[in-house]
Every structure is written in C-alpha cells, then in structure tokens.
C-alpha cells in the first residue's frame, strides 16, 4: 500500500529527487562492478590468475545474479526496498574490505566479488520498486529515466577514475575509495528517501475493483504470453549491450580494424557517455507524452543496425553508429524498466516481477558471453559473422516488443 496523507491521498515524493538518489546508489554498485575491468591485466599476476581465472573477477557478478535475482524480489516484498538497498550497500563495503585483505589469494578476491555481486543484484531489483512505491504513477517515467543511467554511468566513472586511483593508492586504494562511495550513497538513501509506512505487501494486495478475493503472489502468475514476449525482447537487449560494452573493445584491437587500446576504449565509452543525457531525456518525453511504448520501439529499432555497423565497419560509418547508439539505442534502458511495470499483470506481482526482470538481465549477459565468443571464434576474427547475427537478433528483439501490450 502507498503511504497516505491524513486526507487519504498517497504522499508521493519528488520524482527527480527520488531518481537522483537512486541513481547515486546505483552508480556506487556499478562502479564496484566495473572497478576491476580496467585492472584485470594488471592485477592478474599478483593473484596468480590465468586469463580464464581473471575473467571470473567480472563474470561472477552475472552468475551470482542468476541465483539471487528471485530472492531479491521476495526480500524487497518482505522487508521493504529501503532496508534491502541499505543492506546491499553494506554488502559492497564488506566485499570491498575482504577484497582489500585478500593479499595475493585469487580465490578470496573472487569470493569478495561474489559478495559485491549480490549487492548489485539487490539494488537492480529494488530501484524500480522504490520508484513504483514513492513516485506519482504519472511521473514514474521521469524517475526511471534518471535511474536508468546508473549502469552506463557507473561504467564510465569507474573506467575514468580507477586508473588514476590505482596509480596513486594501488589496488587497496581502489577498493577503499569505492567502499567509501557506497557508504556515502547509503547515507543519502537513508536521509533523502522516505519509505512508505506501509509498503506494498504483494502476498495480500489485490485488485478489489472486480470484487476478487486476495490471492498470494506466485511466480507462475507472471507466465503470460505478454510477459514472456517482453522478457524475450529484454534478454536480447542485454545480449546486445554485452556485445558493445564487453566484447567490442577486443574485436577492435585484434581485428584488422587497427584500433589502439585508447581508441577502442573511447569507442565503447562514447555511446555510454551520450546515453547519460539521452536516457533521462527520453524518460522525460515519455512521461509528458504518455508514449512510452512508441519511444521504446523507436529506440530499440536502432540497436541491431548499430551493433552490426560497429562490428563490421570503420571510419565515419562506425562513429555515426556509435553516436546513434548512445543517442537512441541505449536510451531505451529506462523505458524498458518503466514499461515492465505496465506489463506485469497485477500490482501484487511487482516485487516478484522485478526479481524475474533482474534474472533475465543476468541470464542474457551471462549466456551472451559464451554466444558472442562462439560467433567470434577462438581468435575473435569472425567479426563479420558476429555482426550479422547480432544485427538480426536486434531486429527480432524490436519485432517482439511491437507485440507487447501495455495496460
């Protein structure tokens, strides 16, 4: 249930403030995830990790998410989003401290990363629940658009700051700085967002408009054709995201495209930088016009073609695709979350629905790692084949979303 005023009206909070506070919490989690990506080659010898072993420092995040996504929704339902998010920030701090004290033990480091990964899963799940409970339904697209910047924003911030922090304070300094960031984000959440006095208890919430009796929320209630269609499109979106942010730098460096390390890093960071402006802007437009689905289809329609061009072309065509991807393609992140709330069949399923959405996200990214590596081949040289297949998948994902019905 919503927190209500004395007059019986829901006491909603400012959509921009809620979105910004949640964005900071999300950024702290994303920075924690991506702080290791630029240091993998550097720290692998210290921990005696092979190439496959060092890859687990990053991939453990999505693997942990697969197992904890559904429990995250249940915990948010039982204890409330604010408590779960505060506990998640605590897990980041604990994981960071364990990582700092890991010495040269790679297993301990990976375990610490798994703990941090649990926090990321919880925050990913609880953010949209917080918006749904705290913000006027007419303005959720605005808050979600701001919140939707956390993933790309965290990747950009971590990629820029981590090398400088490492150069000044070393490995332990990097882990310490981002632990402090998580603590500050938790304080901001604690004092700036008011959790409803009565959070939505989905096990007892019901739609009384038709006189239906209350029924407990069950995951099988989410297995409608409409939900399955949306999750299929969302799975493809996450796979394409991984293709750009995860695998493209290696393709640009190892193929005859001839990109240097710095150029490949800028090429994959540019769309994320642009999306920090486009994502909240598209969310605001959706909130004012009420055309979230139309905007979602438009933004998703460019994903496949942009990935195809960035995998297969060089020169001006490549950079145009990168700009279009950041301006439109990645701007659909917030819309996907906002639309998902409308796709869920009943309000009592919101918490469990967010857990399912996070599970789909983690599964798409985890499976995408193996699919894209398979397409590229052992030497990452089959970039044309990968580009064609990924481009076709993007088109399929857009077509699937066209058939999704909103309330």
pLDDT interval class at 205 (50, 70, 90): very low
149-175 in b/e burial notation, b at 16+ Cβ within 10 A? bbbbbbbbbbbebbeebbeeeebeebb
pLDDT interval class at 394 (50, 70, 90): very high
Are the C-beta atoms of 253 and 264 separated by less than 8 Å?
A: yes
Residue 54 clears pLDDT 80, i.e. is over it: no
367-to-59, 66, 100, 116, 330 alpha-carbon distances in Å: 11, 11, 30, 20, 20
Burial class (CB in 10 A: 0-12, 13-18, 19+), 130: buried
Domain boundaries, the chain: 15-192, 220-402
pLDDT interval class at 333 (50, 70, 90): confident
pLDDT 10s digits, 175-203: 999 999 999 999 999 999 988 765 444 44
Rounded CA-CA distance 149/278 in Å is 9
Which pLDDT score is estimated for 237?
A: 92
pLDDT 10s digits, 95-144: 999 999 998 899 999 999 999 999 999 999 999 889 988 998 888 888 88
Are the C-beta atoms of 175 and 35 separated by less than 8 Å?
A: yes
Residue 211 clears pLDDT 70, i.e. is over it: no
Are the C-beta atoms of 356 and 218 separated by less than 8 Å?
A: no
Q: What is the CB neighbour count within 10 angstroms for residue 45?
A: 10
Rounded CA-CA distance 259/313 in Å is 12
Mean pLDDT value across the chain = 84
When mean pLDDT is compared over 40-54, 86-100, 209-223, the highest value belongs to 86-100
CATH superfamily of 15-192: MFS general substrate transporter like domains (1.20.1250.20)
Instruction: Tell me the three state secondary structure of residue 10.
Output: strand
Rounded CA-CA distance 165/177 in Å is 8
**DSSP state for residue 198 in the 8-state scheme:** S
46-to-39, 49, 202, 239, 267 alpha-carbon distances in Å: 11, 8, 48, 31, 29
Q: What percent of the chain has pLDDT over 70?
A: 88
Domains 15-192 and 220-402 share a fold: yes
Can you say whether the dihedral through the CA atoms of 382, 319, 55, 24 is positive or negative?
A: negative
Are the C-beta atoms of 345 and 215 separated by less than 8 Å?
A: no
Tokens 């989410």, residue located: 222
Rounded CA-CA distance 46/170 in Å is 12
Q: What is the CB neighbour count within 10 angstroms for residue 327?
A: 19
CA nearest to 100, candidates 185, 186, 177, 160: 177
CA nearest to 296, candidates 341, 246, 250, 242: 341
pLDDT 10s digits, 135-162: 988 888 888 888 888 988 888 888 888 8
- CATH number of this structure's domain 220-402, picked from the four choices 1.20.1250.20, 3.30.1330.10, 1.10.1740.10, 3.40.640.10: 1.20.1250.20
pLDDT higher at 53 or 296: 296
Are the C-beta atoms of 401 and 233 separated by less than 8 Å?
A: yes
């Amino acid at each position: 249930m919503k927190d209500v005023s004395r007059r019986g009206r829901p006491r909603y909070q400012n959509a921009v403030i809620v979105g910004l506070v949640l964005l900071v919490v999300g950024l702290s989690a994303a920075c924690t995830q991506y702080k290791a990506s630029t240091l993998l080659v550097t720290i692998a010898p210290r921990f005696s990790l092979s190439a496959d072993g060092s890859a687990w420092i990053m991939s453990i995040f999505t693997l942990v998410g697969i197992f904890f996504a559904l429990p995250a929704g249940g915990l948010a339902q039982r204890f409330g989003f604010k408590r779960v998010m505060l506990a998640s920030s605590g897990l980041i701090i604990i994981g960071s401290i364990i990582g700092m004290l890991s010495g040269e033990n790679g297993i301990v480091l990976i375990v610490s990363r798994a703990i941090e990964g649990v926090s990321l899963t919880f925050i990913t799940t609880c953010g949209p629940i917080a918006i749904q409970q705290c913000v006027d339904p007419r303005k959720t697209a605005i808050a979600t658009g701001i919140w939707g910047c956390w993933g790309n924003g965290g990747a950009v911030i971590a990629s820029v700051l981590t090398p400088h922090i490492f150069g000044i304070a070393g490995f332990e300094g990097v882990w310490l700085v981002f632990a402090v960031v998580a603590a500050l984000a938790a304080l901001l959440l604690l004092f700036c967002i008011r959790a409803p006095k009565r959070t939505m208890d989905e096990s007892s919430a019901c739609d009384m408009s038709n006189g239906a009796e209350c029924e407990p929320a069950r995951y099988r209630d989410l297995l409608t054709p409409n939900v399955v269609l949306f999750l299929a499109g969302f799975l493809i979106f996450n796979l394409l995201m991984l293709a750009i942010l995860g695998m493209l730098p290696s393709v640009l460096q190892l193929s005859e495209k001839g990109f240097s390390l710095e150029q490949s890093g800028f090429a994959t960071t540019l769309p994320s930088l642009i999306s920090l402006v486009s994502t909240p802007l598209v969310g605001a437009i959706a909130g004012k016009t009420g055309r979230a689905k139309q905007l979602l289809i438009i933004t998703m329609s460019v994903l496949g073609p942009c990935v195809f061009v960035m995998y297969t072309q060089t020169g001006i065509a490549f950079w145009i695709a990168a700009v279009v991807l950041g301006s439109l393609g990645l701007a659909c992140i917030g819309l996907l979350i906002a639309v998902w709330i409308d796709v869920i069949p009943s309000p009592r399923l919101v918490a469990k629905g967010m857990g399912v959405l996070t599970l789909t996200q983690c599964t798409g990214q985890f499976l995408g790692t193996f699919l894209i590596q398979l397409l590229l081949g052992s030497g990452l040289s089959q970039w044309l084949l990968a580009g064609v297949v990924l481009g076709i998948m993007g088109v399929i994902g857009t077509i699937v979303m066209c058939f999704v019905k909103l309330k």
